Amino acid sequence: MQNLIRLFDNHHKSNNKQAMSGISQDKIRRGIRNGIFYQ
């Protein structure tokens, strides 16, 4: 869960959003499906 939050934060801080988006969006979708994602 810590990694999911860190990945989400990095996604917003990163200038290279295209490189991050494929990874982080997949992780975030999994987090939402697992009910561990925060608003």
Cβ-contact 31, 4 below 8 angstroms: yes
Mean pLDDT of 25-32: 74
Domain that holds residue 18: 2-34
> Would the pLDDT of 5 be above 60?
yes
Q: Is residue 39 part of a domain?
A: no
Q: Is residue 16 part of a domain?
A: yes
Domain count across the chain: 1
User: 15 to each of 6, 8, 21, 26, 38, how far by Cα in Å?
Assistant: 15, 13, 11, 19, 23
**What pLDDT, on the 0 to 100 scale, is given for residue 28?**
75
> Would the pLDDT of 39 be above 50?
no
